Amino acid sequence: MTKTLLTCAVTGNITQPAQTPHLPVTPEQIANDCLAAAAAGAAAVHIHVRDPETGKPSMAVELYRDVVDRIRKADAELIINLTTGPGGRFVPSVDDPRVAAPGSTLLPPLERIRHIQALRPDICSLDLNTMNSGPDVVINTPRNVRIMASAMREAGVKPELEIFDSGDMHLALDLIQDGTLQGPGMWTFVTGVKYGFGFTPETLLYARSLLPAGAIWSAFGIGRHEFPAVAMAWLAGGHIRVGMEDNIYLEKGVLAQSNAELVSKARRIVHDLGGELANPREARALLGLPQKG
């Protein structure tokens, strides 16, 4: 069997520092957690950044630059995957739903990828979902997705297609068909988000059935679904993701002390099932990325 690519999503956009004292916040902490996750078995790291003073999510290019520079100086082979998800949330005002209320983050599509154009990571996420998200709405219109996808291609960065529901897949397939995206693509199924894909074997197998031939795919689960999703994705022939963006617990009631702990547990699950994790060099070959170092 092909070795398994494990991605670690170290901090995310939703998890709050108040939920766990172990969440990395500063560029140094985020970079160090990425490197520790790599030492534990991750071949790729998925990165958001945060305001070092407040801990709130940020899209500042210089914060991304700081994190990326620290990682590349220490480990040139580790695959860097930067998010482009922030900038798509809309909170309608109660009195006038056409007016954005506090908490809205909507940005023009090219504003959401300034750090991608500046830093040219190996991979960046491309969200295709327009959906209810808790009490709010996430909006990624086909027009905006096309603009972002085209700019990613111009920057030479491989898009990771983040799939929250089946409609996202059909949009992505249209973008491959018209040449906006290069197929068969790198796909990630997000399960367990309320109002999106549920976490069930049937959901995962249905999503897999829609993939174009030769596609590379992974899946992950939110919260308590994180480690069952590791096993389920591996058994279905996919790759895996863990990290504090998705889950902060090592087991019920026990906070993970680090992202590396989450990676180590996922690695053990894969090994116990008879699999083996890919190292960054092997993962680069699998994804068709240039070798580094």
Q: Within 13 Å, how many C-alpha atoms sit on residue 74's CB side? A: 16
Report CA-CA distances (Å) from 57 to 64, 119, 173, 260. 12, 19, 31, 22
- Please give the Cα distance from 12 to 136 (Å, whole number): 18
According to the model, what pLDDT value does residue 137 have? 94
Contact 10/30 with Cβ under 8 angstroms?
yes
pLDDT of residue 133: 86
pLDDT digits (tens, 9 = 90+) for 225-276: 999 999 999 999 999 999 999 999 999 999 999 999 999 999 999 999 999 9
CATH architecture of 6-287: Alpha-Beta Barrel (3.20)
Q: Where are the domains of the chain?
A: 6-287
Query: If you write DSSP's letter for every residue of 2-48 in order, what string do you get?
Result: PPBPEEEE-S-SS--GGG-TT---SHHHHHHHHHHHHHHT-SEEEE-
Structure tokens given for 142: 């086909």
Name the pLDDT band for 2 (thresholds 50, 70, 90): confident
Question: What is the reported pLDDT for 42?
Answer: 98
- Quote the pLDDT of residue 1: 62
For 71-99, the pLDDT digits (tens) are 999 999 999 999 999 999 999 999 999 99
What values do phi and psi take at 56, rounded to 5?
-80, 155
For 104, 137, 140, 142, the CA distances from 97, given in Å and listed in that order, are: 12, 12, 18, 22
Residues of 27-61 as b/e, b for ≥16 C-beta within 10 angstroms?
bebbbbbbbbbbebbbbbbbbbbbebeeeebbbee
How far apart (Å, rounded) are the C-alpha atoms in residues 114 and 84? 9
Mean pLDDT over residues 160-189, rounded?
97
CA 189/CA 129 separation, integer angstroms: 11
Exposed (0-12), middle (13-18) or buried (19+): which is 111, by Cβ within 10 Å? exposed
Name the band, by pLDDT with cuts 50, 70 and 90, for residue 164.
very high
